[in-house]
A and B are shown apart, each in its own frame.
Chain A
Amino acid sequence: GAGVSQSPRYKVAKRGQDVALRCDPISGHVSLFWYQQALGQGPEFLTYFQNEAQLDKSGLPSDRFFAERPEGSVSTLKIQRTQQEDSAVYLCASSQGWRSENTIYFGEGSWLTVV
């Protein structure tokens, strides 16, 4: 596709349910980022992949959050035992290289509501 694709776009989960959010980066992009965006806030970093290697997961808020990118392309963010505070938009982004000035392209996000 032409851009970063995320699914599902909208997810309502009951508290305690596990969810999986998928990201299809732009083809050939080496770097992949996950951000969490609460309502009215800026994107907050969660984790970063360079190809299949997860180089930074310092932003993951708890061990309930897990991300993977096993073949260096599609990535999945998994949240176990969801809590209400997990309600947010989860943004995936990718860039061609790994330099700071490589443009980062965002997906439209997965809107998670935990009830």
Chain B
Amino acid sequence: GENVEQHPSTLSVQEGDSAVIKCTYSDSASNYFPWYKQELGKRPQLIIDIRSNVGEKKDQRIAVTLNKTAKHFSLHITETQPEDSAVYFCAASTSGGSYIPTFGRGTSLIVHP
């Protein structure tokens, strides 16, 4: 089955800096890669996603890049703000067969004001 590795486990930045979180996956058939944000005690919420036919996608201060050859994808947050502090999860899923998303272990992002 799919295996998703996520790094770093903790990321501490100053307000205004950029943050990058990286994930790798093992199943070359995976073709959909969502990112979720989970604030303390809250539900995970989708913030951005990318499909395998696209190399990069941007939404305001958030961008995601995908390298299918290397089987890795990254989340980039620019101009970080204290309200970006949360745990971020990457996931990978495959259409056809079992499309159940497999999640990474999460990155705790702390943005210091």
A residues within 8 Å of B by Cβ?
3-4, 33, 35, 40-45, 48, 56, 91, 98-101, 103-109
Contacts and interface: CB of A to CB of B under 8 A. Distances in A.
B43 A108 contact: yes
A91 B51 CA distance: 25
A56 B34 CA distance: 21
B106 A42 contact: yes
A56 B98 contact: yes
Contact of B99 (A43, A98, A103): A98
Nearest to A107: B43
24 contacts: A33-B100, A41-B106, A42-B103, A42-B104, A42-B106, A43-B89, A43-B103, A44-B103, A45-B100, A45-B101, A45-B102, A48-B98, A48-B100, A56-B98, A91-B44, A98-B99, A100-B32, A100-B93, A101-B49, A101-B95, A103-B49, A106-B44, A106-B45, A108-B42
A100 B95 contact: yes
Contacts of B36: 106
Contact of B32 (A3, A4, A101): A101
Nearest to A46: B100
Nearest to A43: B103
B96 to A, nearest CB: 8
A40 B106 contact: yes
Contact of A43 (B32, B44, B45): B44
A44 to B, nearest CB: 8
Contacts of B43: 3-4, 91, 106-109
A42 B6 contact: yes
Contacts of B49: 101, 103
A4 B103 CA distance: 19
